[in-house]
Every structure is written in C-alpha cells, then in structure tokens.
C-alpha cells in the first residue's frame, strides 16, 4: 500500500523551511519534530535553513503560519501538533477550525503548507504515530520537500 509520499531522490539543499509546532502534548510533538527534522536533513536541508516556531496549542498554529507567509522568506511551512480527544467538545472545535484554517492559508497563498496535526481519539493512538519505529513526522518532512520543489517549477 502506498502512502503517496516520495521518499527517495528528494533534494532539499536549497530550501528554507518554517516549522510551527505546538507544545500541547509535547511528549508527542517533540517526537514529531525530531523525526521531521531528520527527514529534512536526509534530503540535504541545512540546519540554518530550518526555523522552528513554538506555540502553546494547535489552535495558535494558523496565526503563526499566516505571519510567516507575510513576513518571512520561506519555501514551505510544516505544521506539527497533536490533538487528543477529551471529555468536552474542545477537540472537535479545535480540530475542525485548525484544519480548515490551514487549508485556507494553503490555497490562498503561493506557499505549500504541510498538515502535520495528529487528531487522535486516544493518547495511545498519538504515541503510536510518533514513536521511534513509526513516526508521521518523518513522512511530513519528506512531503514538505516534494511540495517545495513543486512550487519552484
Ligand atoms: C485547550 C486544549 C485542549 C483541551 N486540548 C488540546 C489538544 O489536545 N491539543 C492541542 O494542541 N491543544 C489543545 N488545547 C489548547 C488549544 O489548542 C489552545 O492552545 C488554547 O485553547 C488557547 O487558545
């Protein structure tokens, strides 16, 4: 089964990357960030060309993405967050609004944005997607380079 992500022959050496990562559930988001950066380095992205912006929770991600688009010279933005369903409606409202805001910023601007926000029903589901053996951050890093390349062509 293909996940659609291209893993080989990606050259990220000329790209500047902005990563907006939320601290909420940081045991998950730190792991996503680490693997995402490893995927970027594998494509030749230089450490100095990666700018990481921390925000309190996923809800704050679109605000910073919007600022980056307007103010920074960046080729691709990666959003990393981890929403885990609780007892109230918070999860539904934040997941829905953040997802729609990121999509709107993506299609309204000439810069690709990678949607790396886990929306999990349990903490275990989030752990399973941010572990050593299986980590979605890696795929999102590769997807970012593929999309940055697309913008340049
Ligand atoms: C409030 C809240 C809750 C309940 N759950 C999460 C979550 O699972 N993941 C996440 O990234 N953020 C959560 N937040 C925080 C909101 O995203 C936001 O930071 C606050 O509501 C302040 O605007």
Domains identified in the chain and CATH numbers:
17-152 (3.40.50.960)
Q: Is 13 helix (H, G, I), strand (E, B) or coil?
A: coil
Six-digit token string for 7: 């893993």
CA-proximal residue: ligand 1, atom 13 (nearest): 57
Contact partners, residue 73, CB within 8 Å, separation at least 6: 16
List pocket residues of ligand 1, CB cut-off 6 Å: 22, 24-25, 56-60, 81-84, 86, 90, 94
Q: Please give the span between the terminal C-alpha atoms of the chain, in angstroms, as a whole number.
A: 28
Question: What pTM was estimated for this model as a whole?
Answer: 0.95
pLDDT digits (tens, 9 = 90+) for 94-149: 999 999 999 999 999 999 999 999 999 999 999 999 999 999 999 999 999 999 99
Centre of ligand 1 to C-alpha 64, Å, is 15
pLDDT digits (tens, 9 = 90+) for 6-52: 777 899 999 999 999 999 999 999 999 999 999 999 999 999 999 99
Nearest 10 degrees: CA dihedral of 39, 44, 47, 51?
-70
Would residue 90 show up in a list of annotated catalytic residues for this protein? yes
What is the atom index within ligand 1 of the atom nearest the CA of 23? 11
Residue at token pair 């729609």: 100
């Amino acid at each position: 089964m293909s996940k659609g992500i291209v893993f080989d022959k990606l050259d990220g050496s000329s790209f500047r990357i902005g990563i907006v990562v939320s601290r909420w559930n940081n045991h998950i988001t730190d792991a996503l960030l680490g693997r995402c950066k490893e995927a970027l380095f594998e494509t030749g992205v230089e450490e100095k060309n990666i700018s990481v912006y921390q925000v309190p929770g996923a809800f704050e991600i679109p605000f910073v993405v919007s600022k980056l688009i307007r103010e920074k010279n960046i080729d691709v933005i990666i959003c990393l967050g981890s929403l885990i369903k609780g007892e109230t409606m918070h999860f539904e409202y934040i997941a829905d609004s953040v997802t729609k805001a990121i999509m709107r910023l993506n299609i309204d601007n000439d810069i690709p944005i990678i949607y790396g926000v886990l929306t999990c029903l349990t903490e275990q589901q989030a752990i399973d997607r941010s572990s050593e053996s299986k980590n979605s951050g890696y795929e999102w890093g590769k997807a970012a380079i593929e999309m940055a390349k697309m913008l340049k062509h």
